[in-house]
Amino acid sequence: MSEVERDLDYEAARDELAAVVAKLEAGGQSLEDSLALWERGEHLARLCERHLAGARERVESALAAAADSDDRP
């Protein structure tokens, strides 16, 4: 992952992915450009999944910590 992509937060990656999808749906690109857009979209989708997985882990940890503190007398 490049430095720029490491700095790409979830919202930025999601917004760029939405723009890529809109371009692909609009059509009019050459096959090469369409493939490049598709590959970029796949990469952005994986990046979004990593962000979401990290957020999910944080929520699960927070819930587990809250449950542990509730169980203590």
Residue 36: give its domain's CATH number.
1.10.287.1040
* 12-50 tens-digit pLDDT: 999 999 999 999 999 999 999 999 999 999 999 999 999
Report residue 52 as tokens: 């979401």
Q: Cβ(17)–Cβ(50) under 8 Å?
A: no
Range of the domain at 43: 3-71
* 42-56 tens-digit pLDDT: 999 999 999 999 999
| Distance spanning both ends of the chain, measured CA to CA | 46
The total number of structural domains in the chain stands at 1
Q: Is 40 helix (H, G, I), strand (E, B) or coil?
A: helix
Per-residue b or e along 40-66, where b marks 16 or more CB atoms closer than 10 Å to that residue's CB: bbebbeebbeebeeeeeeeeeeeeeee
